[in-house]
Copies of this chain bind each other. A is one copy, B any other.
């Protein structure tokens, strides 16, 4: 299986928006991914293609107000492509872009119910930050994503010597 990883472009917005609700099993996700990511953060956001078809994407950025930090906001993979390693390729492209821009750490956030995401981030070298509560044994930050929005916060050093 060969994927082509390239920078996201403004032209990708409509194709991503047309598939994400379906990739998430019908959840309304489009509000969480405004067009601004396809216009103003394209140099740290990536698309993965296979046979010319969109297989996945990652929207991330360099923190503007926290020097040395980068943040992965949104990642989507076509359900038909899960298990193919495309998520890893997208994350690795982001790590490389963040490091090239002087970052030393990458942050990401997920919901505690998303066990697949928690396990994926751990495989990718992220650590779970200690939260203020636990959900099924997973440390969470209560209300991090708004009322009732408990979230798992991940952090990954870009220095190999500082990773578990």
Contact = CB atoms under 8 A, between A and B. Distances in A.
A4 interface: no
A26 interface: no
A12 to B, nearest CB: 13
Interface stretch (A48-56, A62-70, A82-90, A116-124): A62-70
Contact of A40 (B34, B43, B69): B69
Contact of A17 (B43, B61, B66, B146): B146
A14 to B, nearest CB: 7
A41 interface: yes
A143 B14 contact: yes
A144 B10 CA distance: 11
A143 to B, nearest CB: 7
A26 B83 CA distance: 41
Given A36-B71, A71-B36, A73-B36, A41 B65 contact: yes
A62 to B, nearest CB: 6
A135 interface: no
Contact of A44 (B17, B44, B61, B64): B64
A147 interface: yes
Interface of A: 14, 17-18, 30-32, 34-36, 39-44, 61-66, 69, 71, 73, 143-147
Given A17-B146, A39-B65, A40-B64, 8 more contacts: A30-B146, A34-B73, A39-B63, A39-B66, A40-B61, A40-B66, A42-B65, A43-B64
